[in-house]
A and B are shown apart, each in its own frame.
Chain A
C-alpha cells in the first residue's frame, strides 16, 4: 500500500512559497487502478512525484509498503517498487536498441545477466513489443516508444506504476495501444496503476477516480458515482465523458436510460430499448 498522510508540498520561490499540495491524505491499495484528474496546476503531477520520492514532503509523510520517502535510505527500494512514466516517450528512452533500453533499469539494480534477459523478454512481451527487441527506438511510432518506456519500468518489477499523461502526445492508435496495455497490466498481472489524465474516457475504466483542485482532493469515488457529481465537476472544470453527456440529454427527452459511461455501453442500452 502507498499511504499518504497529511502531505503538504510547498515550492519555494525567491520571496514566498507556493503551496502545491495542501494536507492530502489518501491510501492506494495493491491491485487498484486509480485515475487522477484535475485542471492544470491542481497538484496532480506534484502528487505523482511524491509517490516514488522524486519530491519529498514539506509536511506529512508518504509511505510505500511502510517505507517513508522522507528517509534517504529508503529511496532506492521505493523507486524499485514505484515506476514512473511521463508524457513524452522521447525523453525516457536512453539506449540505441530497444532491448538495451529495457535492460537499463535491471542492469543498474545489479540483476544477474540470465535473469535480465528473462525480465527484458517478459517486459517486452507484456507490452506486445517483443518483435521489436532489436529495433532502434527512433524507428518506432509514438505509441510504440511509450510502450517501450513502460517495458523499461516493468523490467524493474515494480508493484506500482505511476503514469503522468502517458497518452497526451500520441496519435489515436498510440493512445489505444497504451491504454489497453495499462489496463491489462492491472487486470492480468495485478500491477497497481495510478494514471493521471485529462481524458475522461480514460477515467471510466478506473476502480476509483480522484479529482484534485487547488492542491486538495475534492472528490474520490468509483467512476459511476464520480460522474454523478455534475455540479462539483463543472466548478472544477472537469467534463463528463461524451457518453455520459449524451445519456443525460436523452434522459431529458424522457427516455428511461440507466446512465452510461462508455460509448459501447450507451449503444447497448439504446439498441435494447423497447
Chain B
C-alpha cells in the first residue's frame, strides 16, 4: 500500500480558544497506480488531508504510513516529500529562477545531485509535461503562457521522481487549451508511467473524466469513497453538501424525470449520446 491513513484527527490551533477541527477520524488507503479524485466544498478538509500525505502537517491522533512506514518515525518527512510530490494551487506563482532549467533543477541542487544527473532528470521532467527540452530550457519562465508556466511548475515536482503526484486545482484559471494540455499529460503519466495521482478539483466534469476513484470530503470526514459512477449517482447528497454532479449526468437525471429510460451515471459525450439515442429509439419503436 502506497499511502495509508489510520484514524487521523487534526485540529488547527488545538488547545486554544480558536481551535478548529479539520479532520475527523479519517482512514483510507491508496494503492500505487490509482487515479483518485478528491472533492469537497471549501473548508471540508481536502487541503489539510493532502498536507498530511507528505508530512507538512502531522496528525494530532492516528498515523500516516507511506509504503508501510510511519511518517516521522520510520520514514523522514524529507524523504516522504520526494516520494509524494505536492503541486499547490497556482504553482506558477512559485516560479522564480531566470531559466526554466534552473527552476526545475532547484530542488535537485538542494539535495546535492551531481550535474549530469540533474540534466537527465530535468530533461525527463520536461518531456513528462510535453515541453521540448531545447526549446524551453533557456527561456525565462515569465515569458511562457499560463498553461506552459503551470506545466513547468509541475515538472519541478516531477523532477524529484515522486511515486505519487498530488495536485490542488491544477487547471483553475486556465483556458480550454491550457486545461486540455494539463489533463492529457496527467492521464498519460498515470496510464503509461504508472504514476499515482491524487487530484483535488471543484470541476465535477474533470473529476468524472479522469479519476477511477472519487473521495468526497465534508466537514472533515470522508462522506463517500467509491467509483465515479457510484459517487455521481448520489445527486441529492452531493448537492446538499454544496457539490454538484457532472453536466451530462445532470442532463440524464432530467431526462429520466421527463420519462426517458436512460442510465444516470455517464460522463463522456459519446456514451451519453448513445444512451440517449437508444432510449429515444426504444420510445418510438
* Chain A residues at the B interface, C-beta cutoff of 8 Å: 38-41, 87, 141-143, 165, 168-176, 198, 201, 237-239, 242-243, 245-246, 249-250, 253, 255, 263-264, 266-268, 270-271, 273
Asked if residues A198 and B173 are in contact (CB atoms below 8 Å), the reply is: yes
Q: Which residues of A contact B169 (CB under 8 A)?
A: 169
Query: Is the C-beta of B175 less than 8 angstroms from some C-beta in chain A?
Result: yes
Q: Which parts of B203-248 form the interface with A (CB within 8 Å)?
A: 204-205, 242-244, 247-248
Contact A264 to B254, CB < 8 A, known contacts A41-B145, A271-B259: yes
CA distance A176 to B178 in the complex (A): 24
- Segment of B54-62, B94-102, B157-165, B272-280 engaged in the interface with chain A: B272-280
Kindly state the separation between the CA atoms of A39 and B89 in the bound complex, as whole angstroms: 19
Distance in Å: Cβ of B244 to nearest Cβ of chain A: 4
Complex Cα gap A250–B276 (Å): 9
Residue B172 interfacial (CB < 8 Å): yes
CB distance from B152 to the nearest CB of A (A): 15
With beta carbons under 8 angstroms apart, the residue of B173, B204, B273 that contacts A168 is B173
Known A-B contacts A142-B42, A250-B277, A253-B277; the reply to A242 vs B247 at CB < 8 A is yes
Which residue of the partner chain, among A173, A242, A264, A270, contacts B248 with CB atoms under 8 Å?
A242
The answer to whether A267 touches B146, judged by C-beta atoms less than 8 angstroms apart, is no
Contact B174 A243 (CB under 8 A): no
Residues of A contacting B177 in the complex (Cβ-Cβ under 8 angstroms):
39, 237
Q: Is the CB of B202 within 8 A of A172?
A: yes
Q: Interface 1/0s, chain B 172-185, versus A by CB < 8 A?
A: 11111111000000
Beyond A41-B146, A267-B255, list 13 extra A-B contacts (CB 8 Å): A39-B178, A40-B174, A41-B145, A168-B173, A171-B243, A173-B242, A201-B247, A237-B176, A263-B247, A264-B254, A270-B280, A271-B259, A273-B280
Q: Which residue of A lies closest to B252 (CB)?
A: A267
Contact between B175 and A170, CB atoms less than 8 A apart: no
Contact check, A173 vs B41: say whether CB atoms are below 8 A apart.
yes
Q: List 5 A-B contacts (CB under 8 A).
A: A39-B175, A39-B177, A87-B173, A176-B244, A250-B276
Q: Which of B241-285 contact A (CB under 8 A)?
A: 242-244, 247-248, 250-251, 254-255, 258-260, 269-270, 272-273, 276-277, 280
Contacts of B277 in A (CB 8 A): 250, 253, 255
Q: Known A39-B176, A141-B41, A250-B273; judge A263-B243 contact (CB<8 A).
A: no
Q: Chain A contacts of B276 at CB under 8 A?
A: 246, 250, 270
Contact B273 A267 (CB under 8 A): no
**B147 at interface, CB cutoff 8 A:** yes
Q: Across the interface, which residues of A come within 8 angstroms of B254, CB to CB?
A: 263-264, 267, 271
B68 at interface by CB-CB < 8 Å: no
B72: CB under 8 A from chain A? no
Asked if B258 contacts A173 (CB within 8 A), the reply is no
Which 6 pairs from chain A and chain B are nearest by CB?
A271-B258, A173-B242, A267-B254, A172-B244, A40-B146, A39-B175
Contact in complex: A238, B202 (CB < 8 Å) = no
- Bound: A39/B37 CA distance, A: 26
A270 to B281, CA, bound (A): 12
Q: Which residues of A contact B176 (CB under 8 A)?
A: 39, 198, 237-239
Q: Is the CB of A40 within 8 A of B172?
A: no
Q: Which chain B residue has the least Cβ–Cβ distance from A143?
A: B42
Separation of A176 and B238 alpha carbons in the complex (Å): 14
A240 to chain B, nearest CB (A): 10
Smallest CB separation, B183 vs chain A (Å): 13
B250's closest neighbor in chain A, by CB? A263
In whole Å, how far is B255's beta carbon from the nearest beta carbon of chain A?
Answer: 6
Chain A residue nearest to B201 in the complex (CB): A171
Q: When A40-B146, A271-B255 are in contact, do A237 and B173 touch as well, CB less than 8 Å?
A: no
Closest B residue to A145 by beta carbon equals: B42
A250 to B41 alpha-carbon distance, docked (Å) = 34
Contacts of A270 in B (CB 8 A): 255, 258, 260, 276, 280
CB-based contact B250/A141 at 8 Å = no
* Cβ-defined contact, A171 with B202, below 8 A: yes
CA distance A198 to B177 in the complex (A): 11
A210→B250 CA distance, assembly (Å): 28
Known contacts: A41-B145, A245-B269, A264-B254. The answer to whether A168 contacts B172 by CB under 8 A is yes
Cβ-defined contact, B251 with A267, below 8 A: yes
B41 touches A171 (CB 8 A): yes
Contacts of B205 in A (CB 8 A): 242
**Given A250-B276, A253-B277, A174 and B173 contact (CB-CB distance below 8 Å):** no
Q: How far is the CA of A39 from the CA of B174 in the complex (A)?
A: 8
User: B172 to nearest A CB, angstroms?
Assistant: 6
Task: Please name all residues of chain B whose beta carbon is closer than 8 Å to the beta carbon of A173 when the two chains form the complex.
Answer: 41, 242-244
